[in-house]
Structure 1
């Protein structure tokens, strides 16, 4: 089989797996994909009522500030948390079908990316509602999402591999995600916390992706070279390490029941 045909077949299978995951996710939901649009809007409304007064002086357009951080965070958290069990969930299929194991992990990640696309519709609507003017730096958002996706894939590779050998990683990661979320300055300004905490948050990869998006949308400015370097480095390094861990253990994965 020619390489081009092999790639076409690979991407066809990947699309089918993503479609299957989307159908499974919304199988029992009356509103279906609409929930991906409504969920961030409802969350924004609730958090805005709680925190907008508290941070009114330090954050302009708090609802959009929060929503920007939320949709970036949800892409990452959904991509990684749903990928943890994918190798175990699809073990029988992996034994029967000659298909690269990472395809199933990628399917979970790209399902999260597809959901992000639906959520982004709500985000655009809210930009209009809150009269956020278009600026050319908004066109840089896809760069942020691409490197965030690479970062998520790397993490998903590591987590899905670890879960095969240590099932408790699923529970531990849910705790880590909660702590990670609060350390990502999603609903508060970073300068509202002590300097020592600001330094820690500054090294948080998720804060880098969130801050990049906020600069493009809310601050209407070009992120500086450091911001570009950080989001690219986190994405590339995570993807490289995750791929290495996954490839090194992929044969052992199938030997573990």
Structure 2
């Protein structure tokens, strides 16, 4: 228990350092985590709301819900990818598990997501969405999305140590994944083959889950439950296994 407390202290300190570094020269600081999704929502609503007016009810909320979960996944996987190399000097000097550094980046992304909810939740009710018991499932969807992003992050962090160009390849993959996540367009308006691709996209599954429980006030189907759980558990276990097996080699390379 004493070691767990110490590691949790390190995670919090590293998280604080990451947040301070990110907003070091900003007057508003962490408030940008609240304002940024709102500004994106405003821009996307102005551009696409008329285009999809008849297809998507509450387009601003539809977009914002998808954007928040997309951003949660992207921040975790992308930031975890470089954490071992970024903290090379600390890894060599301080005797703490390497996993602590990875969890600190994950925790940082989660903190930013929670700050974003400060704007998202009041906006739901301002736009006429009534409180529903299904909203209590949001933390489950959030944690499953975190598990999936963390699992992918573990794999990327190992690859980045041995193959630095993976960072540029992954940025392209993130862009492709974003357009295949139906963040700002209705899935029903794309061809059937594309719908199949999007429905198997794990990030879209977490977005869809959130939209159903937060906007539509409906319980997700058994099939959707199976997808979000299976993607999260399988990605996390696979990523953690690869990370642990390559742990010694990582220290030799960095």
TM-score, length basis structure 1: 0.97
CA contact (8 A) 1:147 1:231 kept: yes
Corresponding residue for 1:75? Answer: 72
Which residue of 126, 137, 140 corresponds with 2:137? Answer: 140
Give the C-alpha shift of residue 125 in structure 1.
2.5
Report the Cα offset of residue 6 of structure 1: 1.5
Give CA-to-partner distance per residue, 1:110-135, whole Å, 9 cap, x none: 10000000111111121122121111
1:154-198, Cα deviation, whole Å (9 max, x unpaired): 011111110000000111111000000000011011111000000
5 Å matches for 1:53-132?
53-132=50-129
The separation in 1 between residues aligned to 2:66 and 2:19, in whole angstroms, is 23
Q: TM-score, normalised by structure 2?
A: 0.98
Q: 2:24, 2:167 → 1: CA distance?
A: 23
2-side partners of 1:171 and 1:252: how far apart? 23
CA RMSD of aligned residues (A): 0.9
Q: Which residue of 1 aligns with 2:228?
A: 231
Name the SS of the counterpart of 2:130 in structure 1. Answer: coil
User: 5+ unaligned residues in a row in structure 1: which ranges?
Assistant: none
Q: What is the aligned length?
A: 254
What do the CA deviations read for 1:95-121 (whole angstroms, capped 9, x no partner)?
111111111111111100000001111
For the 8 Å contact 2:80–2:150, the answer to whether it is kept is no
The Cα shift of 1:12 comes to 1.5
Select the residue among 215, 220, 226 that pairs with 1:218.
215
Q: Which runs of 5+ in 2 are unaligned?
A: none
How many angstroms apart in 1 are the aligned matches of 2:44 and 2:220? 27
What corresponds to 1:171 in structure 2? 168
Structure 1 runs (4+) greater than 2 angstroms displaced:
none
Q: Does 1:51 align with 2:24?
A: no
Contact 1:40 1:71 in 2 (8 A): yes
> Aligned residue for 1:247?
244
Does residue 155 in structure 1 map to residue 152 in structure 2?
yes
Partners of 2:235 and 2:173 in 1: how far apart?
A: 17
For residues 205 and 80 of structure 1, the distance between their equivalents in structure 2, rounded to whole angstroms, comes to 13
Aligned counterpart, 2:185: 188
CA offset at residue 206 of structure 1?
0.5
